[in-house]
């Protein structure tokens, strides 16, 4: 099969057509990217079920149709060419496509988007893996040193921090993040902990809390922590792709990202960033060569992973870059505002991320104070209102995570549901 | 808005677990002669592979058959469309059904299996998690084991304070010689607590006499961790008969599921001997699922497992095994008497299946074999892989699969003849 045949076979196999997406893309160019009309063209590129309203984009992001079609094509391509495409690190025919060449190209796109160097990034299978590698690999901890995290951290990252007690003989300190929390208050929380624990070497920070959507002032906390000689490892699983921020400006050296949440790549792809000058502070994996080398690839050991998913990151980036992060950020804020505005002054309902624009973006949670059981509330939303959102028992609340495919009317339905339930409990 | 009942109905029509329209071929479970080319041509046509190259490198991972690819694309769409709504509510049940099917197939308990993202992850969890080691104990691995598993074993020196011993599998290998090599290692190292065995060596294709070695180990109170990345799906064996408590499998090599799926087995009464992974609640528990912590995985790949199993069961595992052996013999037989070539698996049916490596005598360096791989590729259009890491030097690994023809193997034999004649 030659390449042209292959493309035809793939298209037939995948049963998809890219034509619709391409036409839409042309028309979009002249549109105001913050308008409802523009976002309708984006929504049109997602094939989501109409059986319920999906407000759980926080679990992972649905792929747009162009990305899904590309993924199907890459899957068929890699399946046909198999290990030949990977080429064991070398491709004998210079013109032939090669996985490692394409992988580096895609890392280059990611590096450009982040404003970092390509050799500071490595693919993982998700933010969880990135963060596991960073937390357990961080080797500047001596027995008796302190490591700090807040209870708003993702549970498996918190567990990874607690494991440092066994693994590095560290003194592990868990902070209680105030709820609600204010900008300066969140900085002070960590500063006070640093004062109380002068041997602190490491802080885990979650850029956007997965349960509440609260955004922490990463830049300010990292800068303050540096003054106390502490490093920060940052979990950006939920922020990058949703929130418009300058990555380099944050001044952080160790970061885990997801690509299958807000970047919209196929499931099972994440990214790890280690600042080049800090590479030796993260251990190499036991199966990846001797310590002392500064190649980030030696800090990841995935075994064979879903290569087509990695290839599709290019398509996902093209899709979101075409919209532009400033417009994505604005859109998510508008979606949040659409429902939150109804409850800011409603005593029956708490909104779990602050109104301070520095501290929220799209993902935000709520609780109905009179409702005792968040899981039951989640079921009620689904059964009675056909709204799918995630219960967050730790906060007695419900997480509302609209996606690229969400419409304003989806949030209107949520408002009506919350009001009706809150009224029924009076 | 559709009601709940309607959702379930429409789900059933979309989800891959209903496979009504999937199997393109359906053969009775009857014996198929490995040389019945008409039959194997039908099977071969279930694969859409490039004709730019003769691919004899199925050892890296297995190409999905067309029905499996179709099911995977469909499952991807289904999961993408229904997203967390499906996963949070129904995926657990579907996962359990798949585990139940795998458990029945392997003859083990459903609570003895957990899916991983590949064999590396399963084995890493076993080797790192094996908690019965004390400083001063010994662990043993061999030169035939997979490189990153060897590294995990070496890492135990730092992590658990044990002595790590690396043994050499004799060459040419014979059934008894391999058993004797492990016997000697166990005799020489009475403080040995755990050994790593590789069921089919990724370097040579040699099938290790696991049952006999495991029995020797058991007498001495030594545990075996088995790397079955290449065995399951390539040839038939009885897991219970092996007598091993800890096993890592791949499903994307010889079972033919989408990339990124493996399997971990721990015998029920041994689960507490493997540490739970951090991020999993409760340290003192015997739930095997806490021995793996993946974060969010590609659910569609997992949902496609039944389709891959259907495909293979339609052909029949024994038929697949015979076919792979026959393809191996097709190139090994003419090469066997070439005194410039060393075939790295013996012609003892207990010791090879599809994969077999060879070395041109005196050319054992990695570079020489990388050059040979390149020559096979560029001049003869045959894709293989150079292997290193063996005590007696590396070679070229040849891994045919169901999409290969007898002519593919003749082409390789001719290429080897041509290369050694010059």
Q: Which two tokens stand for residue A124?
A: 């993982």
pLDDT tier, A12 (very low <50, low <70, confident <90, very high otherwise):
very low
Tell me the nearest-neighbour CA distance from B244 into chain A, angstroms. 23
The confidence score (pLDDT) of residue A24 equals: 53
Q: Which pair of tokens denotes residue A231?
A: 């490093």
Contacts of B159 in chain A (CB under 8 A): 286
Mean pLDDT of A379-387: 96
* Tens digits of residue pLDDT in A86-121: 876 455 565 678 898 999 999 999 999 999 999 999
Please identify which residue in the block is written with the tokens 């520095």: A358
Measured CA to CA, the distance from residue A198 to residue A230 in angstroms comes to: 9
Average pLDDT, chain A: 91
Q: What is the mean pLDDT of residues A376-402?
A: 96
Q: Which of B9, B58, B76, B80 to mutate to test the interface with A (most CBs of A within 10 A)?
A: B80
For B259, the closest of A6, A62, A304 (CB atoms) is A304
Closest CA to A321 of A389, A220, A240, A206: A240
Q: What is the pLDDT of residues B104-162, one digit of tens each?
A: 999 999 999 999 999 999 999 999 999 999 999 999 999 999 999 999 999 999 889 99
Of B381 and B28, more confident = B381
Output the CA–CA distances (angstroms, integers) from residue A347 to A68, A211, A370, A418, in the order listed.
43, 21, 10, 13
**Reported confidence tier of residue B7, pLDDT bands at 50, 70, 90:** very low
CB contact set of A19 (below 8 Å; sequence gap of 6+): none
Kindly state the average pLDDT of the residues A164-187.
95
Of B49, B60, B88, the CB nearest to A80: B49
Contact criterion met (CB < 8 Å) for A82 and B63: yes
Residue A303 to residue B120, Cβ atoms within 8 A: yes
List, as ranges, residues 55-114 from B with C-beta within 8 Å of A: 55, 57-61, 63-64, 66, 69-70, 72-73, 76-77, 79-85, 87-88
The residue written with tokens 């970061």 in the block is: A255
**Local structure of residue B274 (DSSP, 8 states):** B
CB-CB contact of A196 with A371 (8 Å)? no
Under the banding of pLDDT at 50, 70 and 90, the label for residue B351 is very high
Residues A351, A345 contacting (CB under 8 angstroms): no
Q: Please name which of A214, A96, A65, A194 lies closest in space to residue A154, comparing C-alpha atoms.
A: A214
Residue from the list A88, A129, A304 with its beta carbon closest to the beta carbon of B61? A304
Rounded to a whole number, what is the distance in Å from the CA of B106 to chain A's nearest CA? 23
Query: A321-330: long-range contacts (C-beta < 8 A, 24 or more apart)?
Result: A321/A113, A322/A25, A322/A28, A323/A33, A323/A42, A324/A33, A325/A241, A325/A244, A326/A244, A327/A33, A327/A34, A327/A38, A328/A241, A328/A242, A328/A244, A328/A404, A329/A242, A329/A243, A329/A244, A329/A361, A330/A34
User: What distance in Å separates the CA atoms of residue A414 and residue B371, rounded to the nearest whole number?
Assistant: 64
- What mean pLDDT do residues A342-359 have? 97
pTM exceeds 0.90 for this model: no
Q: For A97-100, which contacts have Cβ atoms below 8 Å and span 24 or more sequence positions?
A: A99/A307, A99/A311
Q: Residues B256-274: what's their mean pLDDT?
A: 96
Chain Cα centroid distance, residue B14: 30
- Cβ of B296 within 8 Å of Cβ of A126? The answer is yes
| pLDDT of A289 | 67
Q: How many CB atoms lie within 10 A of CB A139?
A: 13
Distance from CA of B176 to the nearest CA of A (A): 31
To the nearest whole Å, the CA of B41 is away from the closest chain A CA by 17
Nearest chain A residue to B387 by CA: give it.
A88
Query: Residue B3 above 50 pLDDT?
Result: no
CA atoms within 13 A on the CB side of B99: 19
DSSP secondary structure letters along B223-270? EEEEEETTTBTTB---HHHHT-SEEEEESSSSS-PPSS-EEEEE-GGG
Q: Is B298 on the interface with A (CB under 8 A)?
A: yes
Higher pLDDT, B278 or A176: A176
In this prediction, residue A6 carries a pLDDT of: 40
Return the minimum-mean-pLDDT range out of A94-103, B67-76, B90-99, B135-144: A94-103
The pLDDT of residue B17: 37
Q: How far is it between the farthest Cα atoms of chain A? A: 73
Residue A88 pLDDT: 64
What pLDDT score does B19 carry? 37
Please tell me which of the candidates A56, A159, A302 has its beta carbon nearest to residue B279.
A159
With a CB cutoff of 8 Å and minimum separation 6, the contacts of B398 are B56, B328, B331, B355, B356, B357, B358, B384, B412
Predicted confidence at residue A222, as pLDDT, reads 98
Residue A43's region, left for phi above 0, alpha for psi from -120 to 50, else beta, is alpha
The pair of three-digit structure tokens given for residue A243, joined into one six-digit string: 């929130």
> What pLDDT is stored for residue A87 in this prediction?
73
Please give the average per-residue pLDDT across A126-137, as a whole number: 95
The 3-state DSSP class for residue A398 equals strand
How far is residue A157's CA from residue A128's CA, in Å, rounded to a whole number?
Answer: 7
Residue B103 has pLDDT above 90, yes or no: yes
Percentage of chain B beyond pLDDT 70 is: 91
B224/B210 Cα distance (integer angstroms): 9
Interface test with A, best of B10, B55, B85, B123 (most A CBs within 10 A): B85
- Write the pLDDT tens digit of every residue in B296-346: 899 999 999 999 999 999 999 999 999 999 999 999 999 999 999 999 999
Asked if pLDDT for residue A5 goes beyond 70, the answer is: no
Taking only the tens place, the pLDDT of each residue in B205-232 is 999 999 999 999 999 999 999 999 999 9
Task: Say if strands B341-343 and B223-228 run parallel, antiparallel, or are unpaired.
Answer: unpaired
**Which pLDDT does position A90 carry in this prediction?**
53
pLDDT at B4: 34
In order of B113, B120, B153, the CA distances from B123 in angstroms are: 13, 5, 10
Banded pLDDT at B27 (limits 50, 70, 90): low
* Chain B CB contacts of A308 below 8 Å: 259
Q: What is the pLDDT of residue B33?
A: 87
Contact assignment for B49 to A163 by CB distance below 8 Å: no
- Among the partner-chain residues B55, B69, B278, the one whose CB lies closest to the CB of A159 is B278
C-beta atoms of B58 and A129 within 8 A: no
- Which pLDDT belongs to residue B281? 60
pLDDT over 90, % of chain B = 81
Q: Given a cut of 80, is residue A27 above it in pLDDT?
A: no
d(CA A336, CA A318) in angstroms, rounded, equals 25
B120 contacts A156? CB cut-off 8 A = no
- Rounded CA separation B138/B157 (Å): 9
Residues of B whose CB is below 8 A from A60: 83-84, 296
Query: Ranked by mean pLDDT, which of A9-13, A99-103, A417-421, B13-17 comes out on top?
Result: A417-421
What per-residue confidence (pLDDT) applies to B279? 64
Please answer yes or no on whether B279 and A132 come within 8 Å at the CB atom. Answer: yes
Q: How far is CA A367 from CA A180, A349, A377, A420, B400, in A?
A: 12, 6, 9, 14, 59
Reported as a single tens digit per residue, the pLDDT across A189-228 is 999 999 999 999 999 999 999 999 999 999 999 999 999 9
pLDDT at residue B168, rounded to an integer = 95
Distance from CA of A345 to the nearest CA of B (A): 31
């Amino acid at each position: 099969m030659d390449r042209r045949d292959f493309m035809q076979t793939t298209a037939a196999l995948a049963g998809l057509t890219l034509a619709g997406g391409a036409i839409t893309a042309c028309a979009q160019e002249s549109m105001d990217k913050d308008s409802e009309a523009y976002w309708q063209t984006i929504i049109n590129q997602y094939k989501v079920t109409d059986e319920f309203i999906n407000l759980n984009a926080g679990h992972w992001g649905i792929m747009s149709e162009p990305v899904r079609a590309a993924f199907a094509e890459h899957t068929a391509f890699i399946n046909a060419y198999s290990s030949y495409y990977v080429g064991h690190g070398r491709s004998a025919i210079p013109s032939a496509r090669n996985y490692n060449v394409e992988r580096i190209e895609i890392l280059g796109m990611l590096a450009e988007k982040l404003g970092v160097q390509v050799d500071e990034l490595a693919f993982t299978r998700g933010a969880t893996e990135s963060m596991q590698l960073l937390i357990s690999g961080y080797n500047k901890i001596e027995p008796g040193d302190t490591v700090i995290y807040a209870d708003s951290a993702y549970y498996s990252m918190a567990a990874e921090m607690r494991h440092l007690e066994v693994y590095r003989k560290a003194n592990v300190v868990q902070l209680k993040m105030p709820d609600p929390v204010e900008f300066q208050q969140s900085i002070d929380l960590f500063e006070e902990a640093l004062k109380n624990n002068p041997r602190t070497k490491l802080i885990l920070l979650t850029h956007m809390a997965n349960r509440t959507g609260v955004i922490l002032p990463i830049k300010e906390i990292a800068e303050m922590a540096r003054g106390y000689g502490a490093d920060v490892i940052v979990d950006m699983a939920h922020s990058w792709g949703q929130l418009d921020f300058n990555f380099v400006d944050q001044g952080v050296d160790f970061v885990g990202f997801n690509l299958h949440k807000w970047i919209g790549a196929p499931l099972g792809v994440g990214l790890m960033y280690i600042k080049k000058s800090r590479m030796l502070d993260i251990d190499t994996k036991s199966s990846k060569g001797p310590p002392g080398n500064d190649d980030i690839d030696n800090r990841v050991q995935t075994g064979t992973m879903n290569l087509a998913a990695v290839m599709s990151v290019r398509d996902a980036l093209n899709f979101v870059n075409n919209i532009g992060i400033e417009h994505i950020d604005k859109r998510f804020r508008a979606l949040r505002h659409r429902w939150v505005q109804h409850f800011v002054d409603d005593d029956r309902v708490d909104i779990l991320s602050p109104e301070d624009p520095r501290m929220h973006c799209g993902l935000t949670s709520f609780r109905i104070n009179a409702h005792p059981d968040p899981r039951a509330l989640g079921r009620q939303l689904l059964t009675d209102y056909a709204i799918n959102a995630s219960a967050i028992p730790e906060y007695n609340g419900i997480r509302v995570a609209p996606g690229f495919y969400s419409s304003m009317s989806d949030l209107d339905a949520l408002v009506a549901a919350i009001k009706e339930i809150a009224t029924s409990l009076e | 808005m559709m009601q709940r009942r309607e959702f379930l109905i429409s789900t059933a029509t979309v989800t891959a677990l209903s496979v009504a329209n999937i199997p393109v071929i359906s053969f009775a479970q009857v014996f198929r002669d490995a040389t019945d080319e008409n039959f194997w041509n039908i099977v071969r046509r279930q694969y859409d592979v490039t004709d730019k190259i003769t691919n004899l490198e199925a050892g890296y991972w297995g190409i999905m058959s067309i029905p499996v690819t179709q099911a995977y694309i469909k499952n991807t769409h289904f999961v993408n469309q229904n997203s967390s709504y499906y996963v949070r509510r129904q995926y657990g049940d579907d996962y359990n059904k798949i585990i139940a099917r795998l458990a029945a197939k392997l003859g083990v308990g459903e609570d003895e299996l957990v899916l991983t993202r590949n064999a590396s992850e399963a084995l890493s969890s076993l080797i790192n998690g094996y908690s019965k080691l004390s400083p001063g104990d010994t662990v043993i691995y061999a030169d035939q084991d997979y490189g990153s598993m060897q590294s995990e074993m070496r890492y135990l020196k730092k992590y658990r304070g044990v002595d790590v011993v690396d043994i050499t599998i004799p060459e040419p290998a014979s059934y008894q010689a391999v058993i004797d090599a492990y016997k000697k290692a166990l005799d020489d190292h009475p403080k040995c607590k755990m050994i790593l065995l590789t069921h089919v060596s990724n370097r040579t294709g040699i099938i290790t006499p696991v049952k006999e070695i495991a029995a020797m180990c058991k007498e001495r109170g030594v545990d075996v961790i088995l790397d079955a990345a290449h065995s399951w799906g390539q040839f038939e064996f009885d897991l219970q008969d092996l007598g091993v408590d800890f096993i890592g499998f791949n499903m994307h090599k010889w079972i033919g599921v989408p990339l990124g799926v493996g399997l971990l087995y721990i015998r029920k009464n041994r689960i507490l001997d493997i540490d739970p992974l951090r991020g999993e609640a409760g340290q003192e528990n015997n739930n095997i699922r806490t021995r793996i912590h993946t974060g969010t995985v590609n659910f569609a790949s997992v949902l496609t497992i039944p389709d891959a199993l259907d495909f293979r069961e339609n052909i029949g595992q024994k038929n697949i095994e015979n076919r792979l052996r026959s393809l191996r013999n097709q190139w090994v037989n003419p090469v066997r008497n070439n005194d410039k070539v060393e075939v790295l698996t013996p012609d003892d049916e207990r010791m090879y299946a599809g994969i077999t490596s060879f070395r041109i005598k005196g050319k054992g360096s990695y570079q020489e074999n990388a050059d040979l791989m390149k020559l096979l590729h560029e001049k003869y259009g045959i894709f293989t892989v150079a292997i290193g890491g063996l005590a007696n030097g590396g070679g070229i690994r040849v891994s045919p699969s169901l999409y290969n023809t007898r002519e593919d193997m003749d082409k390789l034999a001719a290429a080897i003849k041509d290369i050694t004649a010059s």
